């Protein structure tokens, strides 16, 4: 059964807390949205179906390859499944693809946080492949959900983070498709209506 409260893009996300396994420390911990916001950081939540599965380790390894870039952008990365923190620890330390995973692994065995973001599958007790970016003010700015059998590309997550960081500093602008840092942005207004091609070519 879905929670009646589901975070939606453009709104403030209610606070949540999870137990974690912290590979960088080799120990358990906790993480909360309130503390991440207090630190002035962005929150990236990467939900995945389960530990000890097949597509999931390829995604987490790909995310680990981009971890340094995301950290430079001020993001706290949390990969989340409905497994326990104990399962996270064993999987992280036995699956070879995860050897470079040093970001937080969030445990959501009750599905509470997964329900909050609308990715909880009550039929299986697992989370769909959801990716969410929350800005330092607590506003949800990016939401993407894939089914179980389609893996994600972490380079696109980096691009979205770069765009969101730029737009938070430049709220009057908008980033066109495939925008990357240094590329031209758009400034919405009456002069831009029907003239986007010309504005991008100028």
Q: Rounded CA gap, 26 and 37, in Å? A: 24
Residues 6 or more apart whose CB falls under 8 angstroms from that of 120 comprise: 2, 3, 82, 111, 114, 127, 128
**Please, are residues 168 and 199 in contact by the beta-carbon 8 Å criterion?**
no
Tokens in use for 202?
């100028």
81, 45 contact by CB (below 8 A): no
Separation between Cα atoms, residue 98 and residue 120, nearest integer Å: 24
56 catalytic, yes or no? yes
Which of 31, 36, 46, 56 does the annotation list as catalytic? Answer: 56
Alpha helical stretches, state H, 66-188: 67-72, 85-94, 112-116, 154-169
Active site residues: 56
């Amino acid at each position: 059964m879905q929670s009646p409260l589901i975070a939606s893009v453009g709104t403030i996300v209610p606070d949540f807390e999870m137990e974690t396994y912290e590979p960088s420390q080799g120990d358990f911990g906790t993480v909360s949205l309130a503390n991440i916001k207090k630190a002035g950081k962005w929150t990236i939540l990467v939900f995945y179906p389960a530990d000890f599965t097949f597509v999931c380790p390829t995604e987490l390894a790909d995310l680990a390859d981009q971890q340094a870039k995301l950290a430079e952008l001020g993001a706290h990365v949390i990969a989340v499944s409905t497994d326990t923190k104990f399962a996270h620890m064993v999987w992280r330390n036995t699956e070879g693809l995860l050897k470079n995973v040093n970001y937080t692994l969030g445990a959501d065995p009750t599905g509470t946080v997964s329900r909050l973001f609308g990715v909880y599958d009550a039929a299986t007790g697992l989370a769909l492949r959801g990716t969410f970016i929350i800005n330092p003010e607590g506003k949800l700015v990016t939401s993407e959900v894939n089914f179980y059998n389609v893996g994600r590309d972490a380079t696109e997550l980096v691009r979205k983070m770069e765009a969101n960081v730029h737009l938070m500093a430049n709220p009057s602008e908008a980033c066109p498709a495939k925008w990357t840092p240094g590329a031209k942005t758009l400034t919405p207004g009456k002069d831009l209506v029907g003239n986007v091609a010309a504005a991008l070519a100028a």
